[in-house]
Amino acid sequence: MQQNHRADVVTIGESMVLFQPMGEKGIKYESLFTKSLAGAESNVAIGLTRLGKKVRWISKVGKDPFGDFILSTLAGEGVDVSHALHDEGAPTAVYFKETKAFGDPTVYYYRKNSAASKIEPSDVRPEWLEGAKHLHVTGITPALSENAAAAIQKTMELSREMGLTISLDPNLRRKLWSEEQARKVLLSLIPLCDVFLPGVEEAEFLIGKQSIEDYGKQFLEMGPKVVALKLGAEGSIGFIDGNSMKVAPYSVQHVIDTVGAGDAFAAGFVSVFLDNQSSMTTSSLEKALTRANIMGALATQFKGDWEGIPALEELEAIASGKMEVKR
């Protein structure tokens, strides 16, 4: 029987092995690739761990070297992977990322029928959540299969029953499911969360074109206690108890890789929320948005989904103006 240790946060979702061309030729012509870990929930797990939080990561991986690589990488970053499941009949997913001179990187997924897509509601167990304060999920794992969506919903419902707070980042992935199904499932999960973390484009996708203030108002009416809306180059805005707080972006000189920025934002925001769960005020909301903006901006400075996430000491030095980001 597994022994549970305290966890500030539990996160559940698919992680994959990421391959990127080492040179500038692009996937079609490059013969050498780097290998790394990728996955929205594991990005958040690593980010929160570096900010001093204890994190437990749940997923299902294949019984293969890629699954072993994911588990050992996360464990090496201090994330608890003791509750991860193995599927002997399904592979660990992989994907390729191609960075171009303009726009966001192009990604190619090879995750259909992956081990994580086989996660079932019957896999969900109270032991995952014992000793934990908070659950973080995204809209990516529900997109993998109907059973995965049901498993995420069951985990959220069980978390509420056990007294955990919950954050949800819609993290819309149009390549993974139809727009109709995505909208239906994501809207059904919003009432189950305490913290909702959409981007403007995701907000428009879910409820149509609205003013920024109306987005905040309507999402709060669905059930969350806090809404943090990512505004891209304009920073972010938070909504709580009928009040709003906008925070300017953290400026960097140029962007190297945008993938993972939203996950870093989520880790920054949730880390402050955890410290103020019982009394989230406009002041703590401002701190959460400020930290989230810095984390999101720093994530764009490295070619990788999580490698550039700062430790708490580095983040506090940057926030206080004692350290300047030069890249």
Would 99 be classed as within a structural domain?
yes
Q: Are 103 and 24 in contact (CB under 8 A)?
A: no
The one catalytic residue in 123, 263, 275, 305 is 263
Residue 258: the pLDDT is 66
Would 156 be classed as within a structural domain?
yes
Residue 2: the pLDDT is 47
Tally of domains in the chain? 1
Would 3 be classed as within a structural domain?
no
Residue 1: the pLDDT is 38
CATH number at residue 168: 3.40.1190.20
Mean pLDDT for each 10-residue chunk of the chain (327 residues)?
A: 73 95 88 93 95 97 97 97 96 89 78 95 97 96 96 98 97 90 97 97 96 96 96 92 89 67 92 86 91 84 72 80 58
Residue 106: the pLDDT is 85
Would 233 be classed as within a structural domain?
yes
Would 327 be classed as within a structural domain?
no
Would 326 be classed as within a structural domain?
no
Would 102 be classed as within a structural domain?
yes
Q: What are phi and psi of 271, to 5 degrees?
A: -60, -40
Q: Which long-range contacts (CB under 8 A, 24 or more apart) does 188-192 make?
A: 188/153, 189/137, 189/139, 189/142, 189/152, 189/153, 189/156, 190/219, 190/222, 190/223, 190/224, 191/222, 191/223, 192/153, 192/156, 192/157, 192/160, 192/166, 192/168, 192/223
Would 6 be classed as within a structural domain?
no
Residue 101: the pLDDT is 65
Residue 324: the pLDDT is 57
Q: Is 275 a catalytic site residue?
A: no
pTM: predicted TM-score of the whole model, two decimal places: 0.91
Domain extent for 167: 11-319
Q: In the beta sheet, which residues pair with residue 226?
A: 195, 240
Residue 103: the pLDDT is 65
Q: Burial letters for 272-296: b for 16+ Cβ neighbours within 10 Å, e otherwise?
A: bbbeeeeebeeebbebbbbbbbbbb
